[in-house]
Structure 1
Amino acid sequence: MKTLALTLAAALCATTAMAQNTSITLGMQLEPPNLDPTGAAAGAIDEVVYANIFEGLTRFGSDGAVLPALAREWEVSEDGLVYTFTLVEGATFHDGTAFDAQDVKFSLDRARAEDSTNAQKALFASIADVEVLSPTQVAITLSAPNGALPFNLAWGDAVIVAEESAADNATNPVGTGPFRFADWVQGDRVEMVRNDDYWGEAVALESATFKFISDPTAAFAAMMAGDLDAFPTFPAPENLIQFEADPRYNVIVGSTEGETILAMNNGLEPLNNPLVREAVSRAIDRQSIIDGAMFGYGTPIGTHFAPHNPAYVDLTELSAFDPERSRELLAEAGYPDGFTTTLKLPPPAYARRGGEIIAAQLREVGITVEIQNVEWADWLETVFRGRDYGFTIVSHTEPMDIGIYARDGYYFDYAKPEFVALIDELEATSDEGARTDLMQQAQQMIAEEHVNAYLFQLAKTGVADARLRGLWENSPTQANDLTGVSWAE
C-alpha cells in the first residue's frame, strides 16, 4: 500500500507540474495606455498584443524577416503599382465573426482615412485604393511604386480589425490571433487565453499574463521570488550578473530596433539653431551614459539607424564628445553663457538614469536643464502630441523608422523639405542598391544637422526561467511573441 501511495503522490505531483507549465507570466515595465495598436503610439501596446491577439497581412519574424500572416502570398504587378494578396481561409475573429477580404479593406481604409488616429498613418500614405476581388483576394493599388509595402503592413499599426468590434479594441481587443483577450486589471496585469478556434498552428501555452512592474527593484524581487517566469526587457541591467550566476535563469541579451535619443524640439528657440543642436550633441559622452545608465549594454550611434542594418553608416564622429567645441559653438550661436530648458523623462530606466547623467554633462558647458519626470501617458500627451518640451529621452523601437523625420508636425519638428523629398524617393524605389544609397543619404543629412543627439542602440536584456523555450532573443519590432513559446519537458 505504501508503494502505491508513493506512486499516486508522484503522479499527482507530475500532473500538477504539467498543469503549471501550460501558462506563463511575463513582466513589463510600462503598462499600455490601451490595447488597440491601430490607435496609439505606445510601444507597450504591441508588446502585449502583436502576433498574440492581433495579426496583419504580414508579420515580422524573430530575425526581422517579413513573413506571411493573414495573407498566404502576394503578387506584384510589373509596374509595381498593384499588390494582390491571397488570404488564409477559415480564419475567424475572437467574437466568432469570419475574417475575409472586406475586413482587410475596412482596416486599411480606416488606417489611411483623413480622420485616422493611427500613430503610423504615414505607412499607408502610398495606398490609392483597396479593392475586394473575392472573399480571399484583395488588391492594393499604390499611387507610386513602394517596394516596402509588405514591410509596412507587418507593423503592429497595420493589423487587421473587424468593423463590428474595432471601436472597442482599446479595452476589449478582438483579433484573429492565437490568443484571446481575457481580462485587464488596470495598474496590474493583462490576461489572455489560448484561442482554440485559431486558424493556424495551435500554440503550446494555454494562458499568458503580462504583469506591469515599473520599479526596477520590484522587478528584480519578482523574478527572484518566482512570481514572474520572464522579464523580456529587464529594467535593471545592474542585476543581470546575479541572474547569470543562478542556474534557475537564462539571461538573454540581443539587439533591438531602439534608437535611443536625446530628442530636441527643433521648433523651439534656441534649439531651432543647428549650431546649438551640435553644441548639445558635442557635450554628451555616449559611452559614459551606456556605462552609467545601462551598465555597458548598448551600442553608440551617430544617427537614427540600427547598427545591425546592412545600410547603417557609422557617423558618431560627427557628434563626438568635445566639451570645448561645444562651448565654442554656443558662443558662435549667440549663447556664450548657455541657456535653460526642460528635460522631460518618461519612466524607462534608460531615460531616468540617462537623464541625470546628461543633465550633468550639459551643465559642464553652461546648459541648464530642468528635469521633469513624467508618466508615460503624460509624455504622450505633452511631449509627443503637444510638443511642450525642450529635451526628452526616448528609445524609438519601431523597425527602420528614419522616415519619421519627414513627418510634418512630428514631435521634434524637423521635416526639412530636402529630407522629405529624399524619403519620398526612397519609398518609390524598389532597387535594393538604390534604396541603400538613399537610406545612407538620409542618415547623413540628419546627423550633419544634429536634429537630435543620438545616444545608443538599446540592447535587449531579458531574464527568463531556464526551462522556457522560444522567447525572442532580438526585437525586430516591439513584441513579446508567444506563438513559439513552450516549457521544456
Structure 2
Amino acid sequence: MLLRTAAALALMTTTAMAQQTDIAIGMVLEPPNLDPTAGAAAAIDEVVYANVFEGLTRFGPDGSIQPGLAESWDVSEDGTVWTFHLREGVTFHDGTSMDADDVVFSLGRARAEDSVNAQKALFEGIETVEAVDPQTVRITLGAPNGNLGFNLAWGDAVIVAPESAETNATDPVGTGPFRFANWVQGDRVELTRYDDYWGEAPALESAVFRFISDPNAAFSAMMAGDIDAFPNFPAPETLSSFAADPRFTVIVGSTEGETILAINNAVVTDPRIREAIARAVDRQEIIDGAMFGYGTPIGSHFAPHNPDYVDLTGRAPHDPDRARALLEEAGASDLKLRLALPPPSYARRGGEIVASQLREVGIETEVTNLEWAQWLEQVFKGKDFDLTIVSHTEPMDINIYARPDYYFQYDNPEFQALMENAETATDPAERSALLQQAQEMIADDHVNAFLFQLAKTGVADARLEGLWENAPTQANDLSEVRWTE
C-alpha cells in the first residue's frame, strides 16, 4: 500500500511538472520603454520581439527571414515593387483588427521626418506604401533593394495600431502570441498568453521577465529556482557550476553582437591616434579576463559566422611599441581620454582591462560608470564621450558607419557611397564583394577598436526546450518554449 501510494505521488509530481505553463526569464538590463519603434536599447526587443509585437517578416532562430504578419510576398522583375499578402484574422491585443491600413500607418510613422525610430535608415529607400486592399500592401522603392525583407524583420519595423502607437512605450499593444500584463519598474515585466492569437497558441500561459544586473544575484536566483532561464547570463565564470549540475542546461551560441571600443571620431580626429588605441588593445586578454574565454576576436564590424566575413584581426594586432610610436608621431604622448562604461559586465570588466592596456602605452583614461538610461542619453544621443565599450547586437549593421550623425561620428563619403551600392546590388556576388570592401575600409580607417564577437552564454532549467541557442537578433522568443518531462 505504501509503495503504491509513493508511486502515485511520483506520477502526480511528474505530471504536474510537465504541465507547468509559466516561466521566469532573467535579464541583465531593464528596457527604458517597451516600444521597439521608439528606442535603441536591445532590452526592448528582448522582451517584446515576436512575443508582443510582430512585423511583416521576422527572424527565425537560425537567422533566416520568415513570414510574419505577411504570409507571402511578390517582388517585381526590376526589384522596386514588393507586394505583401497579409494573414487573415489578425487582431491587436485590444481586439481591433490588423489590416493594410495599419501597415501603411506603421511604415509611414517609422520613416516620417519627425520619426524617433532608432533605425530610421532601414526605411530610407521606400518611396510609397499603399493599401491595395485590406489584405494587400504594395511597397515601392526608389531603387532595387533585395534586403527589404531583412530590413522589415527588425524590431524597429513591427506593425502597430494608430489607436495605441503613442502609448506603446508603457502599455504595448501588438499582435503577438503574448499580451502585456504589467510592468513593475525596477523589477519585472509580465506577459500573458493572447487567446485570440492568429497563429498556433504557445504552450506557455504566462511569462515574467525579471531584471537582475548583478552577476552574483543572477547566480543565486538561478540556483534557488527563482529564475527558470537566463538566456544572456552575466556571470560566465560560473557556467561550469551549472554544467556540472543536472538541473540545468548551459546554452552556448553566437550573437550578432560586435563588441567594440567605440571612439568618438569627432574628438579623436587623427587616424594615427585611433590606430594607436587599436594596437594598445589585447583582444584575447579582454576575452579571457572579462568574458572568461567566451568570445571570438574581430577586426572589423562584422560577425564571424556571416558568409561575407573577412578576418581582419591582423590589420591592427596588439603592438604596444607601435602604439607608442604612433602617439609620438601624432604629438599625443600625454593623451587623456574619457571612457564611459554602460552596465553590462563585458563593458565594466572589459573597461578595467582596456584602461590598463591604454595606460601601458601612455594614454590615461577617466573612467565613468553610467546606468543604461544615462549611457543612451549622454553617449548614444548626446555624443558626449571620448571612448566607450558596447556590443552592437543588431543584425548585420555595418551600414551604421554610413551615418555621419551616428554616435561615433564617422563621416566618410566614400564609405557612404560604397554602402549605397551594396544596398542596391541585386547580384549576390557583387553585394558580397562590396560588404567585404566595407569591412576593410573601416578597419583601415581604425574608426573603432574592434574587440570581440559576443558569445551567447545562457543557463536554463534542463526541463525547458525551445529557447534560442543563437541570437540572430536581440530576442527571447517564447512562442516555441515549453516544459518537458
TM-score, scaled to structure 2:
0.98
TM-superposition CA deviations, 1:340-368 (whole Å, max 9, x none) = 01100000000000000000000011100
Q: C-alpha distance in 2, partners of 1:284/1:442? A: 22
Q: C-alpha distance in 2, partners of 1:195/1:181? A: 9
Q: C-alpha distance in 2, partners of 1:213/1:126? A: 40
**C-alpha root-mean-square deviation of aligned residues, in Å?**
1.3
Match of residue 174 from structure 1 = 173
Q: C-alpha distance in 2, partners of 1:315/1:377? A: 33
Shift of 1:9: 5.5
Counterparts of 1:128-147 in structure 2 under 5 Å? 128-147=127-146
Q: Alignment partner of 1:316: what SS?
A: coil
AA aligned to 1:273 is D
Q: Alignment partner of 2:315: what SS?
A: helix
TM-superposition CA deviations, 1:292-324 (whole Å, max 9, x none) = 000000000000000000000001111100000
Shift of 1:430: 1.4
Q: C-alpha distance in 1, partners of 2:307/2:14? A: 48
Match of residue 155 from structure 2 = 156
Match of residue 421 from structure 2 = 425
TM-superposition CA deviations, 1:444-470 (whole Å, max 9, x none) = 000000000000000000000001001
Match of residue 450 from structure 1 = 446
The runs of at least 4 consecutive aligned structure 1 residues that moved more than 6 Å come to 1-8
Shift of 1:334: 1.2
Q: C-alpha distance in 2, partners of 1:460/1:6? A: 41
Match of residue 325 from structure 2 = 328
Q: C-alpha distance in 2, partners of 1:317/1:9? A: 62
AA aligned to 1:241 is S
TM-superposition CA deviations, 1:46-97 (whole Å, max 9, x none) = 0000000000000000000000010011111111110000000000000000
Identity within the alignment, % = 68
Q: C-alpha distance in 2, partners of 1:237/1:14? A: 31
Shift of 1:15: 5.9
Matched, 1:342 2:338: yes
AA aligned to 1:311 is D
Mapped contact 1:263–1:394 kept (Cα < 8 A):
yes
Match of residue 376 from structure 1 = 372
Q: C-alpha distance in 2, partners of 1:235/1:31? A: 14
Match of residue 281 from structure 1 = 278
Shift of 1:4: 9.3
Structure-2 change in CA distance of 1:320 and 1:61 (3 Å)? same
Q: C-alpha distance in 2, partners of 1:126/1:470? A: 36
Equivalent residue in structure 2 for 1:404, among 400, 405, 428? 400
TM-superposition CA deviations, 1:137-186 (whole Å, max 9, x none) = 00000011111000000000000000011110000000000001010000
Match of residue 210 from structure 2 = 211
Matched, 1:469 2:478: no
User: Number of residues paired by the alignment?
Assistant: 485
Match of residue 316 from structure 1 = 313
Shift of 1:26: 0.6
Q: C-alpha distance in 1, partners of 2:418/2:70? A: 30
Mapped contact 2:18–2:484 kept (Cα < 8 A):
no
TM-superposition CA deviations, 1:394-446 (whole Å, max 9, x none) = 00000000000011310000031101101111111111100000000100000
Mapped contact 1:338–1:365 kept (Cα < 8 A):
no
Shift of 1:371: 0.5
Shift of 1:6: 6.6
Match of residue 38 from structure 2 = 39
Q: C-alpha distance in 2, partners of 1:9/1:222? A: 28
Q: C-alpha distance in 1, partners of 2:213/2:292? A: 19
Q: C-alpha distance in 2, partners of 1:467/1:12? A: 16
Q: C-alpha distance in 1, partners of 2:335/2:478? A: 48
Mapped contact 2:467–2:477 kept (Cα < 8 A):
yes
Match of residue 478 from structure 2 = 482
Mapped contact 2:18–2:483 kept (Cα < 8 A):
no
Structure-2 change in CA distance of 1:466 and 1:9 (3 Å)? closer
Equivalent residue in structure 1 for 2:301, among 300, 304, 307? 304
Q: C-alpha distance in 2, partners of 1:10/1:147? A: 56
Counterparts of 1:78-227 in structure 2 under 5 Å? 78-227=77-226
Structure-2 change in CA distance of 1:9 and 1:237 (3 Å)? closer
Q: Alignment partner of 2:314: what SS?
A: helix
Q: Alignment partner of 1:319: what SS?
A: coil
Q: Alignment partner of 2:275: what SS?
A: helix
Q: Alignment partner of 1:388: what SS?
A: coil
Q: Alignment partner of 1:392: what SS?
A: strand
Q: C-alpha distance in 1, partners of 2:4/2:462? A: 33
Structure-2 change in CA distance of 1:296 and 1:131 (3 Å)? same
AA aligned to 2:159 is I
Q: C-alpha distance in 1, partners of 2:348/2:123? A: 34
AA aligned to 2:334 is G
Q: C-alpha distance in 1, partners of 2:259/2:3? A: 61
Q: C-alpha distance in 2, partners of 1:12/1:306? A: 47
| Unmatched 5+ stretches in structure 2 | none
Q: C-alpha distance in 1, partners of 2:12/2:280? A: 63
Q: C-alpha distance in 2, partners of 1:377/1:284? A: 27
Q: C-alpha distance in 2, partners of 1:444/1:39? A: 32
